[in-house]
Structure 1
Amino acid sequence: MLLPKGTVLAVVDGENFELYRNTGMESDPKLSALDVPDLDATNYSAGAKDHDKVSRFTAGGPKDRPDKLEESAHVAAVTEWLNGQVLKHQFDRLVVIADPRSLGEMRRHYHKELENALVGEIAKTLTGRRPEQLVSAVHG
């Protein structure tokens, strides 16, 4: 996939969120890090039907359910923020790189305009990687 100049990459997992913009040319991308907002992960609608199960598991049961709920809320908050940026025309083109679980959750919250701005999606965990590695994954 090509990265036109100005394209924004959102790199997401259940705990992390990174943003980059291609400040180079389409044929020679250069990713520059963007400031990431502090997001309040309060959207638990993704796990709402599991919320009762979560409370039952907290007394000595499996500990992964609350974590998954927190991860879903984080990913929903990221997606809501991205939706807002697209609606305000801050991002015209967007590539989303996220682990498969997070990407599936993000898709549930995409606004129609965000879908129109999507250049592509990559279902991989690439948070914490160097910009050159992200470019390689996009070109992969």
Structure 2
Amino acid sequence: MQLPKGALVAVVDGEKLVLFENVGAQEIDLRPKTNPDMPERASGAPGRHSSGANPDDDTQAEDGFAMGVADALNHMVLTHKTEALLVIAAPKTLGQLRKGWHKETEARLVGEIAKDLTGHTSDQIAAAIDKA
């Protein structure tokens, strides 16, 4: 996958967000960025309650975190802090993020990779982007 220079790369799982900026023109060169303030979300989708299909508080906390990340990324897009966005997230988290995207955020997405790469080095993440 080619990644535009200046693209924001968000690496997310159910508990952690790591942001990078691609500073490379021809090759992917990721530089860490400071995480934005994250709105607290108590549960996933509004009005969603624990049920037999979603029985535990941990799942609700992960869903809530994903929605908070979606809110933060939407804010970054809507305030013109990024023109291109690549999201790398654990598959379940990616599904939750998609539910929270603003239409402008969807328009700025240059790609999604359904993998859990939190805890990996920037070089390992760059290699995964290259292979995608």
- TM-score above 0.5: yes
Distance 1:114 1:39 in 2: 17
The structure with the largest alpha-carbon Rg is 1
Deviations 1:31-70 (A, max 9, x none): 000001342432524273333x48xxxxxxx9x6100000
TM-score, normalising length: structure 1 = 0.86
- Percent same amino acid at aligned positions? 38
CA-based RMSD = 1.8
Q: Is the 8 A contact 1:93 1:119 kept in 2?
A: yes
Q: Deviations over 1:81-120 (max 9, x none)?
A: 1001101110100000000000000000000000010000
The 5 A counterparts of 1:1-140 are: 1-25=1-25, 27-46=26-45, 48-51=47-50, 53=51, 65-140=56-131
TM-score, normalised by the number of residues in structure 2: 0.91
Q: Deviations 1:106-139 (Å, cap 9, x if unpaired)? A: 0000000000100000000000111111111111
Query: What secondary structure sits across from 2:49 in the alignment?
Result: helix
How many residues are aligned here? 130
Unaligned runs of 5+ residues in structure 2 are: none
Deviation beyond 3 Å, 4+ runs, structure 1 = none
Question: Of Structure 1 and Structure 2, which has the larger fraction of its residues in helix?
Answer: 1
